[in-house]
């Protein structure tokens, strides 16, 4: 694991202010946080925010950070997700050392505590269906209706609960409910369900359990068992806090402090696990790690670095306000990093043949190219140059508008690291389409220097046609055209906003040095963007590149589309 602590900043936030106060008042002696994912999907950038926040706080206070699987629901959870989550958390650099826990390992202990509540007369077995429970819960400002089973004797409750645990009742037929207050202003306090009958095997426990705890019953206990000091969660759990407190108070066990913050919403994507699963299952994307997905595995495959994701999380900070962060904020995090660290290369994505008519036939020169203008230590490399070149189609216009400083008939441009050239002739095919441009080069301008007084505004990247090689390059764009796909107008499905142009595959011509690029290699294609050799599809000698981000943000373009 890389040294992730290096990218941390000591930025403060409202959560740290609460912790500072707790520590100075002696409420807690140290700091112990956790990340508690449910293994029912792959992690996404929202989870990254929670991981970086929790782990970062543990780092800042010299405390501890746990990874805990909240694996209380056997019907949607799978081992595949557990594996991917561990991999993603480690990749992000959040070090949980040997503290990896599973809520399912606490099932026994939770059951004992549930029995304790029954014995105290604080929990009862209820025969109502889920639908009836919901109906009788009432509304805000309107009390609920008590269950006819509410006043069962402790003895009867113990018996029935034991039978539930043995699997003697059908799924969903009975629940164990906390006996709190059916008229409580907070709906979460109206006799919430603690256990339901689900006679399904669990991915780690096998067929041992016939009842499973609800999130509300289990979550606070998990934090309590692990001695978590600050239980940091998203805003929707604010209303559940009184319930967690009630459980822990009734049981007389250790209490963490819960602090809520606003979840991350990112523009032009969706973050709900259900929707991400749907995109994968129905083939709208090529799997959980499709580089267009907001999943950690997708971002990793796109070419994002762990440090760029951590800086993004630090940059956006934490608040109590639910907003949407624009996707360019995330892209800028990787741009800023790769601008400093990535070597430059030349690649032509949409080629147009360019012939230097006065350049000797069969001659090759080695042009010296700077690997990274931001980092002298990256050194230089040689790029072959010859009579036949490729330039980008968009760098030539036969009838250019006024401010077009690239190539057009009669005009001069500089070829990066090579010569100043002048467009002499346009060669067209039978349909009148430009097939080739013929130029002359000025041999006195080697290296690209313009003699005194000569104004050459445009500099183009190029590759030498006989030396370049063809490679698959994938140009990715936002997955959804709408900034908030969940809110597309008229109640239409979020999938209607899928961007048909989110993946474009081109056969590009790359400079020969890229032939050695192994999966995992990152670089800047000059004037194009940052690219990543796909770790799955690249083979030695035939790299496949994913575009991580364009050079400048294309935000203006995205806004126009909306």
The footprint of ligand ATP (CB under 6 A) covers: 36-38, 40, 46-47, 49-50, 233-234, 263-264, 271, 273
Q: Which is nearer to ligand ATP, 176 or 233 (CB)?
A: 233
Closest approach of ligand ATP to the CB of residue 312, in Å? 12
Look up 64 and say whether it is catalytic.
no
Residues in the chain: 562
> For residues 47 and 204, which CB has a smaller minimum distance to ligand ATP in the complex?
47
Residue (of 431, 357, 428) closest to 389 by Cα position? 357
Of 38, 250, 424, 484, which residue is the catalytic one? Answer: 38
Of 233 and 437, CB closest to ligand ATP: 233
Q: How far is the CB of 293 from ligand ATP (least distance, A)?
A: 14
Nearest one of 166, 202, 161 to 178, comparing CA atoms: 161
Cβ pair 450, 481 in contact under 8 A? no
| Closest distance to ligand ATP from the beta carbon of 45 (Å) | 8
Judge whether 424 and 441 are in contact, CB under 8 Å.
no
Closest contact distance (angstroms) between CB of 48 and ligand ATP is: 8
Task: Give the N- to C-terminal CA distance of the chain in Å, as an integer.
Answer: 41
Write down the least CB distance from residue 296 to ligand ATP, Å: 12
**What's the per-residue H, E or C state across 227-291?**
CCCEEEEEHHHHHHHHHHHHHHHHHCCCCCEEEEECCCEECCCCCCHHHHHHHHHCCCCCCCCCC
Q: Tell me which residue of 435, 409, 471 sits closest to 352, measured CA to CA.
A: 435
- Shortest reach from residue 127's CB to ligand ATP, in Å: 28
| Cα separation, 263 vs 294, whole angstroms | 14
Q: What tokens appear for 153 in the block?
A: 């004797």
Nearer to ligand ATP, 263 or 446 (CB): 263
Q: Is 411 known to be catalytic? A: no
273, 411, 416, 547: which is the annotated catalytic residue?
A: 273
Q: Nearest approach, Cβ of 85 to ligand ATP (angstroms)?
A: 8
Whole-angstrom distance, CA of residue 213 vs CA of residue 218: 6
Residue 289, burial from CB neighbour count under 10 angstroms (0-12, 13-18, 19+) = buried
If we measure between CA atoms, which residue out of 508, 480, 502 comes closest to residue 492? 480
Dist. CA 557–CA 560, nearest whole Å:
5
Q: Which of 131, 130, 132, 125 is nearest to 165 (CA)?
A: 125
Cβ–Cβ < 8 Å for 529, 548 = yes
**Is residue 557 annotated as a catalytic residue, yes or no?**
no
- In angstroms, give the least distance from the CB of 171 to ligand ATP: 21
Residue whose CB is less far from ligand ATP, 11 or 76: 76
Q: Provide the 3-class DSSP secondary structure of residue 557.
A: helix
Q: Which is nearer to ligand ATP, 197 or 270 (CB)?
A: 270
Distance CA 128, CA 147 (A): 7
Q: What is the DSSP letter of 537?
A: T
Is 191 or 260 the residue whose CB approaches ligand ATP more closely? Answer: 260
Question: Which of 8, 99, 263, 422 is an active site residue?
Answer: 263
Choice between 293 and 471, CB closer to ligand ATP: 293
Q: Judged by CB, which is closer to ligand ATP: 312, or 396?
A: 312
Other beta carbons within 10 Å of 266: 21
SS3 content of the chain, % helix, strand, coil (to 5): 35, 25, 40
* Distance, CA of 18 to CA of 36 (rounded, Å): 21
Least distance to ligand ATP, CB of residue 55, Å:
12
The torsion of the CA quartet 291, 294, 296, 299, rounded to 10 degrees, works out to: 30
Cα separations in angstroms, 410 against 52, 118, 406, 426:
56, 91, 11, 10
C-alpha closest to that of 387 among 424, 425, 416, 357: 357
Which of the residues are catalytic? 38, 263, 273
């Amino acid at each position: 694991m890389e040294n992730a602590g290096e990218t941390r900043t000591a930025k403060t936030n409202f959560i740290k202010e609460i912790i500072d106060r707790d520590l100075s008042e002696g409420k807690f002696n140290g700091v112990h946080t956790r990340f508690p994912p449910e293994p029912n999907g792959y992690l996404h950038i929202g989870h990254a925010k929670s991981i970086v926040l929790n782990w970062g706080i543990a780092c800042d206070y010299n405390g501890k950070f746990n990874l805990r699987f909240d694996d209380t629901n056997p019907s949607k959870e799978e081992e595949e997700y557990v594996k991917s989550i561990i991999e993603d958390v480690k990749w992000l650099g959040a070090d949980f050392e040997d503290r990896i826990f599973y809520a399912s390992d606490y099932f026994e202990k939770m059951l004992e505590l549930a029995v304790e509540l029954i014995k105290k007369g604080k929990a009862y077995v209820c025969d109502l269906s889920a639908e009836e429970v919901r109906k009788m819960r009432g509304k805000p400002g309107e009390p609920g209706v008590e269950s006819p089973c509410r006043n069962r004797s402790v003895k009867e409750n113990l018996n029935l609960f034991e039978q539930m645990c043995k699997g003697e009742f059908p799924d969903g037929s009975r629940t164990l409910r906390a006996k709190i207050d059916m008229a409580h202003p907070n709906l979460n306090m109206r006799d919430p369900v603690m256990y339901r009958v689900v006679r399904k095997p669990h991915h780690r426990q096998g067929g041992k359990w016939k009842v499973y705890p609800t999130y509300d019953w289990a979550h606070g206990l998990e934090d309590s068992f692990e001695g978590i000091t600050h239980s940091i969660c998203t805003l929707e759990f604010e209303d559940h806090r009184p319930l967690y407190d009630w459980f822990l108070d009734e049981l007389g066990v250790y209490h963490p402090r819960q602090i809520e913050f606003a979840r991350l919403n990112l523009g032009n994507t969706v973050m709900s696990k259900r929707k991400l699963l749907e995109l994968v299952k129905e083939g709208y994307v090529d799997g959980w790690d499709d580089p267009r997905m907001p999943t950690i595995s997708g971002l990793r495959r796109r070419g994002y670095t762990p440090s760029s994701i951590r800086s993004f999380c630090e940059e956006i900070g934490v608040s109590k306000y639910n907003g949407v962060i624009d996707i360019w904020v995330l892209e800028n995090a990787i741009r800023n990093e790769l601008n400093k660290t990535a070597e430059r290369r030349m690649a032509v994505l949409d080629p147009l043949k360019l012939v230097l008519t006065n350049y000797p036939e069969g001659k090759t020169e080695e042009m010296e190219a700077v690997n990274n203008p931001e980092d002298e230590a990256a050194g230089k490399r040689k790029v072959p140059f010859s009579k036949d070149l490729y330039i980008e189609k968009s760098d030539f216009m036969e009838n250019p508008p006024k401010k077009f400083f690239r190539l057009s008939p009669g005009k001069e441009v500089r070829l990066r690291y090579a010569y100043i050239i002048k467009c002499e002739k346009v060669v067209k095919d039978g349909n009148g389409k430009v097939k080739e441009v013929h130029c002359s080069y000025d041999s006195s301008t080697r290296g690209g220097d313009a003699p005194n007084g000569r104004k050459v505004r445009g500099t183009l990247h190029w590759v030498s046609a006989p030396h370049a090689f063809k490679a698959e390059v994938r140009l990715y764009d936002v997955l959804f055209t709408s900034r908030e796909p969940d809110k597309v107008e008229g109640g239409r499905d979020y999938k209607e906003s899928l961007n048909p142009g989110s993946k474009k595959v081109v056969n590009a011509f790359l400079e020969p040095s890229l032939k050695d690029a192994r999966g995992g290699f990152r670089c800047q294609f000059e004037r194009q963007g940052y690219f990543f050799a796909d770790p799955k599809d690249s083979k030695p000698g035939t790299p496949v590149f994913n575009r991580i981000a364009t050079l400048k943000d294309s935000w203006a373009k995205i806004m126009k589309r909306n």
